[in-house]
Structure 1
Amino acid sequence: MSRRRGWTYMSTSDSSDIADLSMMQLADSFFPTGMYTTSNGLEALFYSGRKMKPAELRELIRIYIEHQMGPADCAALGNAYEYASKSDVKNVIRVDKILHSMKLVQEIRNASARSGTQMLRCTNFFVTKDKVLNEYAAAIKSGQAFGPYPVALAVACNALSIPKRKAGLAMLYSFSVGMVGAALRLGMFQHLEGQKMIDELKPVIARTVDENINRPVEGMWQFAPQVDIVQMSHENMTSKMFIT
């Protein structure tokens, strides 16, 4: 330990603590990926006059998690993480392209790519020597890859030594908070109701990660046609608070 101006500093640090802190950093809305500007179609539902109760929104988020985010985004994150850990950028890009093609709604597809690219750009500002991160970022810049958020997050988490499962938990938690946050900004619920909703979604998040984080690329899927329709309806709105 050393002392400086009355403060005590540890000369060594626990690497798992640093990884956990890095996970919280990436999952925090303060991290500038632009995810807080998305509602995933919730804004369209709100302006359609649909009055939702907290339990109904929780059920909607569950559908997103179990039928879109889990088998597609979480599976893509898991595969991209494994390839990144082996410095296999070619297959990271392969997962990138598969996931990008699976996002059927243009607004959602573009938002994911913007947020993923921003995730890499911000992480690359303080993690400058990770080979996979640098090569993947270069592939996006040259047009060889698209940068969907789950794949970009996997590469960033690998660079920061964040375990794969925790990366999946952080992604689904951030998604849930983003949806609840959008509902709060739209005036649908109060903060206490939002926190209760997030707490009730924790078992769904944990179970979905466990079921999908090791899913093979060939097994990736998503099927939530009503959600797709809601998301597409947002594209046709003339005045919007959110980009999705």
Structure 2
Amino acid sequence: MNIDEIEQDLGVMQLSDSFFPTGIYATSNGLEFLFTEKKIRGMADLIEMIRINITQQIGPSDCVALGNVFDSANKHDFDKVIEADNIVFATKSIKEIRDASVRSGVQLVKCVTGFVADDKILEQYQDSIIENKVHGVFPVSFAICCNALKIKKEKSMMMMLYGFTVGIVGAALRLGLIQHFEGQKIIHSIKPVISQTVKEFSNKSLLEMWQFAPQVDISQMSHEKMDSKMFIT
């Protein structure tokens, strides 16, 4: 293993670490509502929720956007980055989820620009956020930041899906839905879903983006109307 590979792997560890300040720990993607309504009762239900989110929403939408932004960044085609940012923002129909994606993405870019100072696309994207030319949605921001840290496209997709999975498991732990050992079993069981999703959506065009998970959408909208809640989403 050469120095570049070591630094790439260190970048993977850094962005994948829950210590990294993106604010994702404050989201549950509707899990809190489902738990309150007793529609999710244990490991099996949680695994199914994560699987549906990955295969019906994040994979065909966010992963496709990430892949295209990665390719555009390598070609220095910033117009395509802007296009992807606008499309992803438009496809997030739930206001709470859309706002959370923007907050996390903007925070991610702000943090990474603090220690990566020689990437023109990252600088341009940061400036465009400040000037309100882009929204800063998380999958686009994540692609820009991973590219700046020389992390490969497929690994970046894997990290995003893994981060979502760990975020949901963490939310379930704080809600008292599962125990820590069960959380690790869930993460392990989702690995084949993550692998297949990365393989399926790593080379799709922006025109092939889609998402369809109406029950997930309803739970996310219902969470927004809860009188008392622990999580933002």
Matched residue type, 2:6: D
**Is 1:154 equivalent to 2:143 in the alignment?**
yes
Superposed displacement of residue 49, structure 1: 3.0
Query: Residues 40 and 46 of structure 2 are in contact (CA less than 8 Å); yes or no, is this contact kept in structure 1?
Result: no
Q: Is it true that 1:133 corresponds to 2:122 in the alignment?
A: yes
**Pairs within 5 Å for 1:1-244:** 14-244=3-233
1:149-191 deviation line (CA, Å, top 9, x unaligned): 1100100011110000000000000000000110000000100
Partner of 1:4: none
| Distance in 2 separating the partners of 1:158 and 1:18 | 13
TM-score using structure 1 length = 0.93
* Aligned residues of 2:12 and 2:159 also touching (Cα < 8 A): yes
Larger Rg: 1
Matched residue pairs, number? Answer: 233
The CA distance in 1 between the partners of 2:21 and 2:228, in whole Å, is 24
Q: Which runs of 5+ in 2 are unaligned?
A: none
Q: Distance in 1 between matches of 2:12 and 2:6?
A: 10
Partners of 2:39 and 2:142 in 1: how far apart? 33
Aligned partners of 1:67, 1:40: CA distance in 2, in Å?
A: 14
Report the TM-score when normalising by structure 2: 0.98
Q: Distance in 2 between the 1:47 and 1:128 partners? A: 45
Contact 2:21/2:108 (CA < 8 Å) preserved in 1? yes
Partner of 1:7: none
Report runs of 4+ in structure 1 exceeding 2 Å deviation: none
After superposing the two structures, state which structure 1 stretch, 164-173 or 128-137, moved more. 128-137
Give the drift of 1:51.
Answer: 4.4
Q: Distance in 2 between matches of 1:127 and 1:48?
A: 44
1:21-54 Cα deviation digits (max 9, x unpaired): 1011111110000011100000111112334120
RMSD over equivalenced CA pairs, Å: 1.1
Give the Å deviation of 1:74.
0.4
The DSSP-based 3-state class of the residue aligned with 1:125 is coil
